[in-house]
Structure 1
Amino acid sequence: MARLSVNINKIATLRNSRGGNNPNVVNVAIDCERFGAQGITVHPRPDERHIRYQDVLDLKKVVTTEFNLEGNPDERFIELVTRVRPEQVTLVPDAVDAITSNAGWDTIKHRLYLTNLVNRFKHLGTRVSIFVDADEQMVRGAKETGADRIELYTEPYAAQYAENREAAIEPFIRAAKLAQELGLGLNAGHDLSLENLRFFQQHIPGLLEVSIGHALISDALYFGLENTIQLYLKELE
């Protein structure tokens, strides 16, 4: 069964829209774990428009499951990872003005850069995952960096799911099989939802972890956070 890591960025977005500390991201993370989540994911960005760097420091003190810190590895992010030493760091090539993640790494073009980062973070005892498109060449390139895992960028799958889910899943199956052959662990995330998650996990070999935020938090408005987490866990059975 793949593990569920809840991305709580949207909780911080709601908090920041009003100021103050309501909702409290630390308390929400604790509740997510209590309700069954097997990990907590945060993605701080340079403008701190949702998760703040101080949030990451505060969360490190209380998260008892896997703490997954993802982001574009600029100097401030590297310093944060070095200080926090999360169980997992996921390297994402976000542009500074990106609304949300919209592409994986070109692991061929940036191989040396990524290799240096992987070595640096693994030296801290942190597992390293590289965010990639479902492209076999990019999967091979990720392996060359020494990364422990890849995270497949699943927005293209989600976008095509309603129209033709069999076609949508095909490149992800190929990428997953190659990752298994190469000895890479496999994560996935972006726009996975109650609608498309079960089909994805049933067809992707070796899936270890999904990171879900926007859809899960949106569903929680209707179903409640505890019930929503249980619904997502059920889809992963």
Structure 2
Amino acid sequence: MTTCRSHLKRSALVILMINSFCASSQIAHEFTYVVGCFGNGSTEVQLEFDSEEVFYVDFERKEVEYTGPDFFEGDLREIFRNMNIYRNAGRNKNACSAILAYCTTEEKHPQEERDPPESIIYTAEEIEPGVKNSLICFVNHFYPPFIKFSWTKNGHPVSEGVLTSRYYPNNDQTFHQFSTLTFIPSETDIYSCTVEHVALPRPKTRIWEPDFSHQSIEHDVFLAVALSLGMLAFAAGIFLIFKARRMNSFPGS
């Protein structure tokens, strides 16, 4: 499938997609080969298996990066070794650029469509004071696929422990991306993730503050239950002692 988006004001993008289906043990799987080229001259080529990335081509470094998925058995480099992945990607890049140039000419350079990103920030695991965790800043449904992340801790910029993924295509031809920050939760620290994108009138910032209140509530409930059980045991002991004394006071009993 070839998609020329210029008629939808998305003149900077052409996506070529080749889908292949296979079936094993009555379970259908889908391979998708994606070529995307942009008005700024960059090109993305990648292979997906059931919507999970298998590899992408890095034209700047002139190599193929194999990314998974983890359940593939064997070395992916060996599996694709004789398939001329990089050479074929170069040919597809040239074809995509030619189609993009044609679409742009046909549409007389329409204004590029822009989709502002949606963003959320959350932790990878349930937080515990002093236990290492990760903050995840997830950005979705943005176009074009160029976005900038920045992190702060208590208002100060943070770069150590930050890892940002590549951007990945959605089915609606927008993109999504992650940035993660490794940190140790503390009651006094406040973190923020800011994203910048051409479709945003100003940078968008999400704030994360630790909340350990649920843990104190659980602790209070535990204490209340423990005290209740203790009181029941105490009352039961008093009752048994009182009963034993009454029985002893009657000789015939």
What is the TM-score when the length of structure 1 is the normalising length?
0.28
Q: Which has the higher contact order (CA 8 A, sep 6+)?
A: 1
Could you say which structure has the higher strand fraction? 2
Could you say which structure has the higher helix fraction? 1
What is the TM-score when the length of structure 2 is the normalising length?
0.27
- Higher Cα Rg, which structure: 2
